[in-house]
Amino acid sequence: MPTVYVTAPDDAAAEIAATLVEERLAACVNAVDCRSTYCWEGSVETNAETILLIKTTAAGYDRLETRIEELHPYDVPCIERFDAADSLDRFASWIDDSVE
């Protein structure tokens, strides 16, 4: 069961989260406000962003990644997959039931 870490501008994050859940690509998306500092095209940038922690299935990951890239406004979106070694069995079952 992977959790997918994505950062997005605040105005796009809510739409991405809602779309992924509505399309049953994700069981749940947690959104956390943050401030990101990064190097882009030779300049140091600092912007408000939202961290999305997306719960999905291993089988659904590729479709989820493709959809995030379609929805995301950045040329190079941050999309990182973390596979859980362990999780509560009932929680893992709920994710499996929620993602098509």
For position 100, what pLDDT does the model report?
84
For position 84, what pLDDT does the model report?
85
Q: Is the pLDDT of residue 2 over 90?
A: yes
Average pLDDT over residues 61-90: 95
Q: Is the pLDDT of residue 76 over 90?
A: yes
Average pLDDT over residues 1-5: 95
Instruction: Output the average pLDDT for the chain.
Output: 95
Q: What percent of the chain has pLDDT over 90?
A: 92
User: CA–CA separation, 44 vs 28, rounded Å?
Assistant: 32
